[in-house]
Amino acid sequence: MNFKFKQRKKITFIHHNYLGDLELDCKTTESIRLYNLPSGQWVPSITSVTSFYNREIFVKWRKRVGIEEANRITKRATARGTDFHQVCQDYLENKELVWENYQPISKFMFYHAKPYLDKINNIHAIERTLYSEYLGLAGRVDCIGEYEGELAVIDFKTSEKIKPEEWLENYFVQETFYAAAYYELTEIVPVKLITIMVTPGGEVKVFDKRNKGDYIKLLVRYIKEFVHHNIGATNGE
């Protein structure tokens, strides 16, 4: 893709660190990613919990498109998402973007997402580990910072096309966990959830959610089903 990136005025993003040098060891057992809390307890990742809750949708999709095609699509989407996340992280960390280090499609998608990324500032976390002793979960958040002047959990998503909001419940549940964990660790409250979704065609949509209470209830349901299944499997049920 031969795409010329028109330079705009560079923004210097302000960073705050209220998490100190927090980092957790992690490992993957079967299909579950686990984090080791400071207490010594191993807990599942939030993505393991949300993926488990939505597993039937994923299984049906794989059957519909075929296993080989599903694997191809998943591999391509994962690579594209990882690369785009890296561009966003580097940009928000005020690093010089060396485009030879990224996929060409990431440059194109970044160009269209940049006006929305430029609404972020006073960044509290970029790709940081968060955990909750109370909920027994951990995970890595894309970003916590002010979006249009209000503190938010910010998630960067890539997709072949913009998905309907009703398909994104698991995104909002995951972001709600990050908001709850960040409050538990810092006593600072993110007031909203921001999902910035970008397509390879350059379409961008921002989902702005403030009803975290509704998603906390769903998060508890997700956790209960995950725990019930895994305890049942351990007990041979």
Q: What is the mean pLDDT of the chain?
A: 89
Q: Give the per-residue pLDDT at 81.
A: 77
The answer to whether residue 10 is domain-embedded is no
Q: What is the reported pTM? A: 0.90
The answer to whether residue 5 is domain-embedded is no
Contact in structure between 224 and 230 (CB atoms under 8 Å): no
pLDDT, one tens digit per residue, over 88-135 is: 999 999 999 999 999 999 999 999 999 999 999 999 999 999 999 999
The answer to whether residue 66 is domain-embedded is yes
Query: The domain containing residue 215 runs over which residues?
Result: 26-234
Positions of the chain with pLDDT lower than 70, given as ranges: 1-9, 55-65, 67, 69-77, 231-237
In one letter, which amino acid is 151? L
The CA distances from residue 6 to 3, 92, 147, in Å, are: 9, 18, 24
The answer to whether residue 175 is domain-embedded is yes
Query: Under 8 Å CB-to-CB from 167, ≥6 apart: which residues?
Result: none
Task: Give the CATH number, domain containing residue 163.
Answer: 3.90.320
The answer to whether residue 8 is domain-embedded is no
The answer to whether residue 107 is domain-embedded is yes
Contact in structure between 124 and 188 (CB atoms under 8 Å): yes
From 127, 74, 77, select the one nearest 106 (Cα to Cα).
77
- The residue assigned the tokens 């790709």 is 127
* Domain count for the chain: 1
